[in-house]
Amino acid sequence: MNKKKLRFVIGGLVIAAAITYMVFASARSTMVYYVTVDELLAKNTSFHGEGVRVAGKVVPTSITKGPQPTEVNFKVKDKEGTQILPVYYKGILPDMFKDEADVIVEGHYNSDGVFHAKTLMTACPSKYVPEDKQQHVSTEQLKSY
Amino acid sequence: MTRYVLIMADIGYVVLLIAFGLCIYVPVVAVIGARTRRTPLILSAEKAVNAVFGLLTLAAACLIYSIVTNDFQVKYVAEHSNLHMPLFYKITAWWGGQEGSLLFWVWILSAFSALVVAQNKHKNRELMPYVCSVLMSTALFFLVLLVFAADPFAKLPPSRVPPDGAGLNPLLQNPYMVIHPPNLYLGYVGFTVPFAFAIAALITGRLDSTWIKSTRRWTLFPWYFLGVGILLGGHWAYLELGWGGYWAWDPVENASLMPWLTGTAFLHSVMIQEKKDMLKVWNVSLIILTFVLSIFGTFLTRSGVVSSVHAFAQSTLGYYFLVFLALVIAFSFFLIVKRWDLLKSKNELDSFLSRESIFLLNNLVFLGLAFTVLWGTLFPIISEAVKGTRVTVGPPFFNQVNVPIGLLLLLLTGIGPLIPWRKASWQHLKRSFTYPILGALVGGTVLFFLGVRHAKALLAFTIALFVAGTILFEYTRGTLARREMTGEGYLKAFFTLISKNRRRYGGYIIHLGIVLIFVGVAGSSAFQVEREIALKPGESAIIGDYTIKYQGTSFKSDPNKTVASANLAVYRRGEKLSGLVPEKHRYLQGDQMVTTEVAIYSTMKEDLYTVLGAVEDDNTAVFKFVINPMVLWIWIGGFLFMTLGTFVITLPTLEELRERERARQLEFVTEKKVLSRA
């Protein structure tokens, strides 16, 4: 490989390395654990203060609109229905938010035992939603970062 | 014993089986014909390609017929249609569900294959057997899915046939959602053609730029349609999902973006091969990668691999796709290694300061973006495989990495066109770049003093000004040069300039569109203002310059749904601008889906975006108001400029049309002579 080609290859590698570094560094600093309700409750100490994303189902009749107009408290349960996690969220509610809805909340698990959600997303429980649209169409992201 | 009544769906399934058989026939016969040099075999294979198109059209007709006639014993019809659905949505339910959309995909592929056969009757004869084989092998994969794993014509047992179907998801009964998949598929499927030509070129060893020149349009059109499809998805999300944004870095969104990024890189790097006969390995690999990502995108959208917690492929389809992808990658890799000698170029790059160099950099940047998106999208699966816990990354990750890389890309968009091929002298650079750079710096300073302090946005606007400056410079310089040469009037010189260099000046129009998109994205990301508030009828909220008065909510119902409409009046500085009516639709059937209808007051400066939340019994309503600056620029830049630019590039000139007519006449005369002699 002559000198000129070498310079191009090195230049390319430098850029590739820079981009790769950015990717890994950013992933490390912005990554969020994605767990189920029972996993969160089991490992609760290690998640205190860290951002975490939890998936679960809304417990029927647990939705209570808080004192402020946009506040809401509700409970999420895991697949078996045994573990319950109380959640607090302030913001406009997604369309499909109701009893038994599959939800994904992202936020912090506070020491008071309540999960403070920054974002609340719902997935459509319907089996009629075509598979190729299910994830895209029915999850709604509200509060931005 | 019950009599078996033959219905259209049964015919459809049989037709799929025949097409399946033909898709095995074509590669076998075409390859044998090519290797033994027996033209009749090759011609038979090409005829079979046309037959596959005919058969799949018939199969599609059977499916649509079943839907339109409300034949609910067909499972697909029961799941995606109902008696009350408007005819238009019944027809488009063809691609509304998994099985139907796979049939739609392979139907488009068969149509494109037939078109390729027609276009290449008298050229690329050495490549065509292999092109047909690759196209039909891909079709075979989809037919395997349709016949064995996702049968659109599957029937329900008589006891389970419902009186009425479930109907299409209300969110899909929307014009945007109707045209969004077709555009994407035209893109994904379209990229199969240059891929097929690349494989054919590798197999036959004909690795000059013939295969590239033959597939110029077949690369640009899919690129365009995929881009429009992606924009439509974002536009739809903005209008329908009600969260105030247009892009969430969602796995499904990312899946469509990746092939578009590598496809754009490919569009640029082939120019280097055409000009300097270099980068052959690179180009061949890039189109293979684009095709792989297109299939991967098709797969990711429907397998549920990434989105759910702790769930692998939710349907077995995922495994089929992975096997197909593995085969494609392995086979392509083998071919590249086998043809390595023919792929190596004798030429080399002259200098860092050359257009080739900038294009290479552009390619690296695009691949960097694609890699970032891929990594972020697959991160949950990788982390689970490696560490055991699932971890995700969201918009913060994508924005942190992609914004700086994107800005670099924008900068290159301005530099590239102005740097000459081979080697640029400092004189030349000074002449070309001085005005655009000065203009950008002046503009940036002005913006700063006007109050724009957000660093990244200011940088984006400044670079955008630079790029716009270079494009303006190029158009001006070109028009003036023509005028000097021919003495034409300004307007005539302008249009003739474009028509004689359509690729270049059409490309600049597309670049201008990209600039507008960057500006719109920067504006709406950096300066978004949001307010959530509960209002009683009569109360007002203030956001930005606007005062919004809530006048109450009215309710309406029809057999399909109930609609809550909130009446808002928007004022600015005391003057009434408009009424806005954000709505909530609650569908009565099925799962009682609720959809949001956003109401937007759009100007070039900003969008006032209003969303209705919950309405209490006393008509107190919760609203989300968002000011999204410059969102209109994104749609104008994307839809208008990209379309205009692509149109300009592909429009044939009068001269070319005359040339084609002459060639066709010659063909006709020659064939007549041959026939009369026989």
What are the tens digits of pLDDT across the range B149-172?
999 999 999 898 988 888 877 777
Are B228 and B92 found together in one domain? no
Q: Are B356 and B272 in contact (CB under 8 A)?
A: yes
Q: Is residue B123 part of a domain?
A: yes
- Minimum-distance CB partner of A36 among B79, B253, B310: B310
Do B188 and B256 share a domain, yes or no?
A: yes
On whether any CB of chain B is under 8 Å from the CB of A35, the answer is: yes
| B98/A130 Cβ within 8 A | yes
- pLDDT tens sequence across B438-481: 999 999 999 999 988 889 999 999 999 999 999 999 999 999 99
Mean pLDDT for the stretch of residues B217-244: 92
Whether ipTM tops 0.85, in short, is no
Q: Assess contact for B196 and B135: CB atoms under 8 A.
A: yes
Contact B349 A5 (CB under 8 A): yes
CA atoms within 13 A on the CB side of B582: 30
Q: Which of B248, B591, B614 sits opposite A125 (nearest CB)?
A: B591
B368 in a domain, yes or no?
yes
Percent of chain B whose pLDDT exceeds 70: 96
Range of the domain at B490: 425-500
- Show the tokens assigned to B450: 């006007």
**Separation CA B213–CA B102 (nearest Å):** 30
Give the residue from B360, B392, B423 where a domain finishes: B423
Of B500, B517, B549, which closes a domain?
Answer: B500
Query: Would you call A32 and B394 a contact, using CB atoms and an 8 Å cutoff?
Result: yes
Q: Say whether both B236 and B304 belong to one domain.
A: yes
Are both B186 and B158 inside the same structural domain? no
Amino acid at the residue A113: G
| Span B303-316, pLDDT tens digits | 666 654 333 335 67
Distance CA B131, CA B586 (A): 50
Give B-chain residues touching A16 at CB under 8 angstroms: 364, 368
Chain B residues with CB under 8 Å of A124 CB are 169, 591, 593
Does the distance separating the beta carbons of A128 and B591 come in below 8 Å?
yes
3-class SS of residue B652? coil
Q: Which of B44-48, B296-300, B526-530 has the lowest mean pLDDT?
A: B296-300
Which residue on chain A is closest to B307 by alpha carbon?
A135
Q: What is the mean pLDDT of residues B185-213?
A: 94
Nearest partner of B62 among B164, B152, B196, judged by Cα: B152
Assigned domain for B620 exists: yes
Nearest-CA distance from B519 to chain A in Å? Answer: 20
For residues B387 and B435, membership in a common domain is answered with: no
Residue B486 within any structural domain of the chain: yes
Chain B residues touching A66 at Cβ < 8 A: none
Closest CA relative to residue A122, chosen from A80, A81, A89: A89
Residue A51 near chain B (CB below 8 Å): no
Pairing of strands A32-36, A52-58: parallel
Q: Which of B88-92, B279-283, B385-389, B523-527 has the lowest mean pLDDT?
A: B385-389
Residue-averaged pLDDT of chain B: 90
pLDDT band at A1 (very low <50, low <70, confident <90, very high): low
Q: Do B304 and A129 touch (CB under 8 A)?
A: no
Residues B257 and B307 in one domain: yes
B326: number of Cβ within 10 Å: 10
* Residue (of A97, A133, A126, A96) closest to B176 by Cα position: A133
Nearest CB to B96 within list A22, A69, A130: A130
Facing residue for A124 by CB, picked from B306, B591, B596: B591
Q: How far is A38 from chain B (nearest CA, A)?
A: 13
Q: Confirm if A54 and A76 have CB atoms less than 8 A apart.
A: yes
B593 neighbourhood in chain A, CB within 8 Å:
95-96, 124, 126
Residues B395 and B435 in one domain: no
* Same domain, residue pair B127 and B142: yes
Res B616 pLDDT > 90: no
Chain pair A-B, CB pairs under 8 angstroms: 181
For residue B36, the distance in angstroms to the closest alpha carbon of chain A comes to 41
pLDDT at B514 over 50: yes
Q: Residue B283, exposed/middle/buried by CB under 10 A (0-12, 13-18, 19+)?
A: buried
Indicate the number of domains in chain B.
Answer: 4
Check pLDDT > 90 for residue B658. no
The enclosing H or E element of B458 equals: helix B455-486
Please answer whether residues B7 and B71 qualify as being in contact, where contact means their C-beta atoms are separated by less than 8 angstroms: yes
Same domain assignment for residues B371 and B474: no
pTM higher than 0.95: no
CB-closest option in B243, B314, B391 to A33:
B391
Mean predicted confidence (pLDDT) in A24-33: 88
Cα–Cα distance, B249 to B375 (Å, whole number): 12
- Backbone angle region of B527, left / alpha / beta, with phi > 0 → left and psi within -120 to 50 → alpha: alpha
What pLDDT was estimated at residue A132?
A: 36
For residue A144, what pLDDT band results from cuts at 50, 70 and 90? very low
B140 in a domain, yes or no?
Answer: yes
Tell me, yes or no, whether B480 and B347 share the same domain. no
Residue B670: exposure state from Cβ atoms within 10 A (0-12, 13-18, ≥19): exposed
- In this structure, the answer to whether residues B110 and B153 fall within a common structural domain is yes
Nearest chain A Cα distance for residue B87, angstroms: 19
**Residue B673 CB: number of other CB atoms within 10 A?**
10
- CATH number of the domain where residue B537 is located: 2.60.98
Q: Examine residue B97 and state whether it is found in any structural domain, yes or no.
A: yes
Which of B98, B361, B590 shows the shortest C-beta gap to A128?
Answer: B590
Does residue B454 lie within any of the structural domains?
Answer: yes
Examine the pLDDT at B317 and tell me if it is beyond 50: yes
Per the CB < 8 Å rule, is A26 touching B80? no
Domain boundary among B632, B650, B668: B632
A118 in contact with B, Cβ within 8 Å: no
Give the pLDDT of residue B550: 94
B116 and B233 co-located in one domain = no
Cβ-Cβ contacts under 8 Å, A106 against chain B: 394
Q: What is the pLDDT of residues B579-591, one digit of tens each?
A: 999 999 988 876 6
